[in-house]
Structure 1
Amino acid sequence: MDTVSIDDIKDGMVTAEDVHGQQGVLIIPRGTVLGEEQIRAMRAYGVRDVAMVSDAVQPDDTAARIAASEARCRELLRPRFSGLDLDAPFGRAVFDLAAERAASRALEAGIDWDAPLSEPCLLAPPPEEQLFSATAVDPAGLVSDEVELATLPEVHLRLLDALQSETSSSQELAACIGHDPGLTTKLLGLVNSPHYGSRAPVDSISWAVSMVGRKELTTLAMGLAAVSAFDDIAPELWDMRAFWGHAAACGVYASLLAEDCPGTAPHRVFVGGLLADIGQLVILRKLPAAACRALLLSRTEGLPIAVAETAVLGFDHTAVGRTLLAHWHFPQALTAMVADHLRPDGRPETRETALVHVADILATAWAWPAFSSAPVPALSEAAWDSLGIAPETLAQVAEAGDVRIRDIESVFFAANPLPRH
């Protein structure tokens, strides 16, 4: 600590002690980085000498702190990205963005890199008889008659009829959806969000149909109805906020990617992304111990969740999702996005499934907390190539996604806000 004459003080110096005027009035608190305004104030109060941390201007170390944080984030993130080729343009772009975003969040959260990072909380309920019985478990057995949409048959079946009929009017569709007030509220909230770019308040389903389109709105309503079917899962059993946070991110990233992929429908891939992992919830509801065991295996061994599920059950959540949506008579295009998003074939006619595949990777890679999240799935190069999207586009997708994901969260999960991505 040095004492510096008021005549020698320069902008950027830092006070080591509180600075008082001649009458004992506090002028500048300790630790203040001085500028012209503070220096003038001290002169006005007759201050002659000031105790300083240093008699040299303190450099701005923000850039250095960001660089150090990003380097540490790269080190900690790398194990989660073992399934992604980080030397390929896509993998390199996704990993670089993940490190940059994590570094920014870490500085914002004030993470102490010298302290041990918290481990993920993994539940371990007692073993279930189904896992050790002579009767094999299969996707059809999980889906059979115990999982139903909360709005069946009044809303869901009518939505299916409306989707398949070219003659149903906006008024008929509005009347169908209006039977479920909760669905109506969420649907209008979503249509009014910046995700759909509404310039004027949309206060009726009929108006929403006119603005968004009959098929688009019907598909969205079906997706929201499917989400509502699992709103009774106990939060102490599973981190449902994180689950639906990932689902919202997957839907948003898929729709943003679709904007650069001609011939695909952003509204449809949004719903496909939202429901991509819905099979996990069926497994959780019917076999909670198996679901938690698969999650534990995934995190401790660094395995993608689908690989861990197959090791525990003999099948993964995409097989259950296919069976579930077929049971609910969902359109084939949506069913394919859910069932095949982990293993897309890369054909031009299945690009919407490829969009959900890529979006799922982005949502996992860019999740927060970054260091305890799930391993990042592998990329199908054929699927990525079929989209014709440049890796440089991913930075814009990440930036636009942050805003849209918060919009979705505020509509779907207003009572229990999700962690920000």
Structure 2
Amino acid sequence: MAKHSIEDVIPGMVAGRDIIGQDGALLVPRGTMLSEEHLRRMRAYGVRVADVAASDGDDTTPETDAAADRLAVAQRRCRHLLTPRFQTLDLESPFGRAVFDLAVSRAATLAVAQGLDLDAVADGPALAGLPPEQQLFAEGAVDPASLVSGDVELATLPEVYVRLLAVLEDGEKTSDADLAGIVGRDPSLTAKLLKLVNSPLFGSRTPVDSIGRAVAMAGQKELTTLVTGLAALSAFSDIAPGLYDMRMFWRHAAACAVYASLLAQTVPGVAADRVFVGGLLHDLGQLVILRKLPAAAGRALLLSRVEGLPASEAEIAVLGFDHAAVGRALMTNWNFPPALTAMVADHHAPDGQPQSRETAIVHIADILAQAWVWPAFPGPPTPGASEAAWRSLGLAETVLAEVAAAGDARIAEIESLFFGASPQPTQRRSRS
């Protein structure tokens, strides 16, 4: 047990003693695991310091006290190091405060567990990215023809999706066998679809080993959504790895998809599989920009790093439009369903209306994926949140901790499922 400043106390810590307000009111009994609501009440009643432990339990030892002290020091350092990444998010709002506190807690816990040298982190770059020289001047990164033609062609959608959509839109009844035959013509798509229906997203108790069973299990409508996402991903398998960290891109896509599906489970009337695909595809416009305007994409990435701007703001400054606008054009060109198009096109600026809750979920999931990325040092800037979109979901901030806890394992599995095994990140260790 140790005494901490209220600014260093985070959800998940346990009150070591009764926490009393300045007016003498008992705010939190001893032994209570602190939530974001507890912390807001403590601040409101003027609490400045509190005796807390890192986890539940009354018995402490010098070792546990020392561990709690190390965690508290790491939390203070992480709070300072992460603040520049969150300058666009409103940290005075309940949602922004909850997201930031969870980011600090997660980063501090991982930093202590991995022996990360936070002093060395403080001396390193503030934001992630490849060296700017490589982004701007690498061989093949600048294509003059694409810059002067004014004709930015969009990628074409793989044939399997076009055929599948045509069959489903036909007035005649389509059998599961017909759909299985179409999907089965693409071996790569077949393998990924089978992996997906065998993942925790569907919760199958027995292995699904054929496309026919996958179609029957997922249903025709859901199958179309899943194939849509998988086909779109395969259309952008040729982005030059030297221009952008594509592993980081796909890791973010997987995180956004997983967080969106977890949030959807608590919002009535929203299908988890639809927002999963919306989260997976929400940044496709970035890939179009990277492929067709690599030099401009490099300048936007550099501006984002240097100024700490969210990617969309940096793109607007350089190009006059952002990847969400390009995503809208791409999805319209591909004749994607309006709901899926909205999730991609409006994920930075949802209107907060009840009928737009799927877009609101992808908006929030995108923020969580940026805020809770690991390694957090360096990490991308966290975009601002639409309070109207958050309110439209009818969720309490306490759900965010549950989403964070449930998301890590699923993100790793989805990333591996779609994009291969994730390499272990290399981190700087503490100085001996």
**Residue in 2 that maps onto 1:359:** 365
**Pairwise CA distance, 1:132:** 7.5
Aligned partner of 2:248 among 242, 245, 255: 242
Q: Structure 2 matches for 1:29-40, cutoff 5 A?
A: none
- Please state if 1:169 is matched with 2:187: no
- Please state if 1:95 is matched with 2:100: yes
**Pairwise CA distance, 1:294:** 0.4
Give the partner amino acid of 1:399.
A
Identity %, equivalent residues: 60
CA 1:163–1:350 in structure 2 vs 1: closer, same or farther (change >3 Å)? farther
Q: Structure 2 matches for 1:14-163, cutoff 5 A?
A: 59-60=63-64, 61-116=66-121, 117-119=123-125, 120=128, 121-123=130-132, 124-126=135-137, 129=144, 137=150, 141-144=151-154, 147-149=155-157, 151-152=158-159, 155-163=160-168
Secondary structure of 1:396's aligned partner: helix
CA distance in structure 2 between the partners assigned to 1:401 and 1:314 by the alignment: 35
**Residue in 1 that maps onto 2:5:** none
**Pairwise CA distance, 1:235:** 1.7
**Residue in 1 that maps onto 2:36:** none
Aligned partner of 2:337 among 310, 323, 331: 331
**Pairwise CA distance, 1:164:** 3.1
- Please state if 1:257 is matched with 2:263: yes
Q: How big is the alpha-carbon RMSD for the aligned residues of Structure 1 and Structure 2?
A: 2.0
Give the partner amino acid of 2:111.
A
CA 1:234–1:93 in structure 2 vs 1: closer, same or farther (change >3 Å)? same
**Residue in 1 that maps onto 2:408:** 402
Is the contact made by 1:410 and 1:417 (CA closer than 8 Å) also made in structure 2? Answer: no
Give the partner amino acid of 1:380.
S
Is the contact made by 1:249 and 1:363 (CA closer than 8 Å) also made in structure 2? Answer: yes
- Please state if 1:278 is matched with 2:284: yes
Secondary structure of 1:168's aligned partner: coil
Is the contact made by 1:258 and 1:266 (CA closer than 8 Å) also made in structure 2? Answer: yes
Is the contact made by 1:241 and 1:418 (CA closer than 8 Å) also made in structure 2? Answer: no
Is the contact made by 2:415 and 2:421 (CA closer than 8 Å) also made in structure 1? Answer: no
**Pairwise CA distance, 1:416:** 5.2
**Residue in 1 that maps onto 2:377:** 371
Secondary structure of 1:142's aligned partner: coil
Secondary structure of 2:243's aligned partner: coil
**Pairwise CA distance, 1:214:** 1.3
- The number of equivalent residue pairs is 354
CA distance in structure 2 between the partners assigned to 1:270 and 1:324 by the alignment: 19
CA 1:95–1:416 in structure 2 vs 1: closer, same or farther (change >3 Å)? closer
- Please state if 1:209 is matched with 2:215: yes
Give the partner amino acid of 2:104.
A
CA 1:270–1:418 in structure 2 vs 1: closer, same or farther (change >3 Å)? farther
CA distance in structure 2 between the partners assigned to 1:236 and 1:92 by the alignment: 36
Is the contact made by 1:163 and 1:219 (CA closer than 8 Å) also made in structure 2? Answer: no
Is the contact made by 1:242 and 1:418 (CA closer than 8 Å) also made in structure 2? Answer: no
**Residue in 2 that maps onto 1:12:** none
CA 1:373–1:218 in structure 2 vs 1: closer, same or farther (change >3 Å)? same
CA 1:342–1:392 in structure 2 vs 1: closer, same or farther (change >3 Å)? same
CA distance in structure 2 between the partners assigned to 1:210 and 1:311 by the alignment: 48
1:309-338 alpha-carbon deviations (Å, 9 max, x no partner): 011111000111111111111111111100
Structure 2: unaligned runs, 5 residues or longer: 1-60, 427-432
CA distance in structure 1 between the partners assigned to 2:143 and 2:198 by the alignment: 45
Is the contact made by 1:159 and 1:173 (CA closer than 8 Å) also made in structure 2? Answer: yes
Secondary structure of 2:400's aligned partner: helix
- Please state if 1:223 is matched with 2:229: yes
CA distance in structure 1 between the partners assigned to 2:156 and 2:425 by the alignment: 28
1:48-68 alpha-carbon deviations (Å, 9 max, x no partner): xxxxxxxxx964411111111
CA 1:238–1:418 in structure 2 vs 1: closer, same or farther (change >3 Å)? farther
Is the contact made by 1:159 and 1:222 (CA closer than 8 Å) also made in structure 2? Answer: no
Secondary structure of 1:87's aligned partner: coil
State the TM-score, normalized to the length of structure 1: 0.80
CA distance in structure 1 between the partners assigned to 2:146 and 2:195 by the alignment: 42
**Residue in 1 that maps onto 2:197:** 191
CA distance in structure 2 between the partners assigned to 1:372 and 1:59 by the alignment: 31
The structure with the largest alpha-carbon Rg is 1
CA 1:81–1:96 in structure 2 vs 1: closer, same or farther (change >3 Å)? same
Give the partner amino acid of 1:232.
D
Is the contact made by 1:336 and 1:353 (CA closer than 8 Å) also made in structure 2? Answer: yes
Secondary structure of 1:125's aligned partner: helix
CA distance in structure 2 between the partners assigned to 1:314 and 1:414 by the alignment: 35
Give the partner amino acid of 1:316.
D
Give the partner amino acid of 1:142.
V
**Pairwise CA distance, 1:109:** 2.4
Is the contact made by 2:327 and 2:344 (CA closer than 8 Å) also made in structure 1? Answer: yes
**Pairwise CA distance, 1:115:** 2.2
Structure 1: unaligned runs, 5 residues or longer: 1-56
CA distance in structure 2 between the partners assigned to 1:86 and 1:162 by the alignment: 49
Is the contact made by 1:122 and 1:295 (CA closer than 8 Å) also made in structure 2? Answer: no
**Residue in 1 that maps onto 2:7:** none
Is the contact made by 2:412 and 2:422 (CA closer than 8 Å) also made in structure 1? Answer: no
**Residue in 2 that maps onto 1:343:** 349
**Pairwise CA distance, 1:259:** 0.6
Is the contact made by 1:253 and 1:362 (CA closer than 8 Å) also made in structure 2? Answer: yes
Is the contact made by 1:358 and 1:384 (CA closer than 8 Å) also made in structure 2? Answer: yes
